[in-house]
Each structure stands twice: as structure tokens, then as C-alpha cells.
Amino acid sequence: MTLVKMSKLLSPIRDNSYAIGAFNVSNMEMTMGAVKAAEELQAPLLLQIAESRLAYSPLSVLGVDAGCGTQASVPVAVHLDHGTTWETIEMALKLGFTSVYVLMDLNIR
């Protein structure tokens, strides 16, 4: 399976028959562990990466390719959680993140 948009990940569960795990990851080991567990359970996965964690691991390390989103055998969405700077949000989108949560008003028009 390849990386999927958040809407594709969430739309099958409209009947509330199951939930999708969303895990905040702050390093590559956590990311790989979450993906491995999801694959073992054959469950879709949402990886969340908070901008506040980027001091420990760069966005490109935790991002889409490094986050196994394009290599996982289950559907994976990658979300930038609490983006606070335009530079980080722009980088996440360029890296292929499937969704972004903007924490503050960035005067985006």
C-alpha cells in the first residue's frame, strides 16, 4: 500500500465499526515501530509529527519517505501536527504530507 490522503484513510470508518490509531512520533525508531505494529495487525495508520519535536529529528527524517508511508503494506497517512511556521508547513507539503494542522494565524491568503 502507498501513502494515502487522510480522507481516504478515514472514509471507510464512517460506520464506526473500528478506529484508526494516530501516533505522535518524534524519532525514526518510534516511526518504524508504529508502522511495524500496524503491518502486523494489518491496520491503517496515521503518523503525526509535531513541529515542536523537530529539534530532535528533522522533518525530512520523520516525513513521508522516511516515515515508511510509501513502503508500508498498510494504508498510512502522515500529518504535520501543530505547525507554527510557514517554512515548516511549506516543507511538509513539499515532502508529501497528507494533512497539516496550523496552530496559529499565518496570514495565508
**Residues identified as active-site:** 81
The CA-CA-CA angle for residues 4, 9, 57, to 5°, reads 60
